[in-house]
Amino acid sequence: MARSSGAAGFWCLLFLLPLLGNGLVMVEGFTGTYGINYGRIADNIPGPEEVVLLLKKSKIKNVKIYDADHSVLKGFAGSGLELVVGLSNDYVKEINTSSDRALQWVKDNVQSWLPDTHITGIAVGNEVLGGADHELEEALFGAIKNVYKALVQLQLTDIVQISSPHSQAVFANSYPPSSCVFKDSILQYMKPILDFFSKIESPFSINVYPFLAYQSDPEHIDINYALFQPNPGVHDPKTNLNYDNMFDAEIDAAYAALEAAGYIGMEVEVTETGWASSGDEDETAATSQNARTYNYNLRKRLFKRKGTPRRPKTVIKAYIFALFNEDSKPGPGSERHYGLFKADGSISYDIGFSGLSTSHASSLLRSLKRSNSKICRREFGKDGKLGFVPLWDWYTEE
């Protein structure tokens, strides 16, 4: 998908590692198995502080954004949520040509917000390789190196992980999964990145959309296979592995491509996956029922903390696309209907949110008030008077 910007369940506790000399906490880039993409190409969605409330009540700890907007970084301060910021495609060419500019970007958008805003990663570019801009493709590796160099200079490499999400366009084929390889035209750009990520132990980030695969070939793909529903499955004759869902098959296709290119030990992380609840007339699979089925079953699958047929011991982690429907996104109608939440904060469809009904989320947002620049809620105090309580004093993990 072009610039793609979830509900959650019960999160494992965050295991704190020893404090570093600069007072920050060393963490992995992802806690648990489930995260959300917080896209904001919309003019009617809640502000960052209100979003934090929704995320906490939904038990979603991992969040990924597509830029480093300071209003979001400020809104997430003190929340304890783990945030991956994005260096957007618009900056890649500039950052490629100047390590000084990369250093300043990291200072302004990462270092200066730590530790209050828990930034755990930087995604450099989004779906750059396989696109139409070849100058951008050529600039990606240099931008990645310069951002990492800045992290080294600022002693942040143990705190902030670097990645670069890719679309399925980087692959020559993906069926059966074991036959997947990178396109020859992509390898000249991909191999230096994979070499580098191998050395710094960053994962291969891929966006996985069974919805798009089904839409492209509904005659030959069983929709139940795409939706994690009972189906005959797919057998891979080369590996003798059986697949009962397309999500696992697409991940194992990525592993096969990595192995074919010589990167046997690299982990695959899913940076986007989701299903549209509405779309254009020809996007017949984009229905609310299908979106609910996919995201409900995906949630269950991720919470089992298991691997894939090809990598059964490597737990899959995924960011769901997306938090909100984004009414200003360009492209087909489906692009504006991936949200687990509607613009008013209500749930698009129920996939098992803990403590949230379809109307509860929006009523929570309406009850929020600002007091001294802090988000508060109305509550009766011990003296019997109605007042405002800071959100972070009120919120506790269930």
Percent over 90 (pLDDT), the chain: 79
Express each pLDDT in 294-338 by its tens digit. 999 999 999 999 999 999 999 999 999 999 999 999 999 999 999
Is there a domain that residue 390 lies in? no
Q: Residue 328: what residue type? A: S
Across all residues in the chain, what is the average pLDDT? Answer: 87
Report residue 362's pLDDT band, with 50, 70 and 90 as the boundaries.
low
Is there a domain that residue 103 lies in? yes
Phi, psi of 150 (to 5 degrees): -65, -40
For residue 366, the model assigns a pLDDT of 58
CB–CB of 204/311 below 8 Å?
no
Report residue 381's pLDDT band, with 50, 70 and 90 as the boundaries.
very low
Q: Active-site residue numbers?
A: 127, 272
Report residue 388's pLDDT band, with 50, 70 and 90 as the boundaries.
very low
For residue 30, the model assigns a pLDDT of 64
Domain of residue 349, CATH code: 3.20.20.80
For residue 378, the model assigns a pLDDT of 42
Q: What is the spatial distance between Cα 35 and Cα 61, in angstroms, rounded to a whole number?
A: 7
pLDDT-wise least confident of 46-55, 258-267, 283-292, 382-391: 382-391
Report residue 292's pLDDT band, with 50, 70 and 90 as the boundaries.
very high
Q: Work out the average pLDDT over 177-193.
A: 98
For residue 356, the model assigns a pLDDT of 62
Is there a domain that residue 14 lies in? no
Q: Could you tell me the maximum CA-CA distance found in the chain, to the nearest angstrom?
A: 72
Q: Work out the average pLDDT over 97-114.
A: 99
Range of the domain at 119: 34-369
CB–CB of 33/372 below 8 Å?
no
For residue 396, the model assigns a pLDDT of 34
Q: Is the pLDDT of residue 397 over 60?
A: no
Q: What is the spatial distance between Cα 28 and Cα 35, in angstroms, rounded to a whole number?
A: 14
Q: Work out the average pLDDT over 231-248.
A: 98
Phi, psi of 90 (to 5 degrees): -65, -25
Place of tokens 């570019």: 125
Q: Work out the average pLDDT over 13-39.
A: 56
Report residue 166's pLDDT band, with 50, 70 and 90 as the boundaries.
very high
For residue 353, the model assigns a pLDDT of 72
Report residue 25's pLDDT band, with 50, 70 and 90 as the boundaries.
very low
Is there a domain that residue 23 lies in? no
Q: Is the pLDDT of residue 179 over 90?
A: yes
Nearest in space to 219 (alpha carbons), one of 279, 284, 278:
284
Is there a domain that residue 226 lies in? yes
Is there a domain that residue 157 lies in? yes
Q: How many CA atoms lie within 13 A of 397 on its CB side?
A: 13
Is there a domain that residue 200 lies in? yes
For residue 395, the model assigns a pLDDT of 36
Q: Work out the average pLDDT over 351-370.
A: 60
Q: What is the spatial distance between Cα 231 and Cα 228, in angstroms, rounded to a whole number?
A: 8
Q: Is the pLDDT of residue 132 over 50?
A: yes
Q: Is the pLDDT of residue 90 over 60?
A: yes
Report residue 344's pLDDT band, with 50, 70 and 90 as the boundaries.
confident
Q: How many domains does the chain have?
A: 1
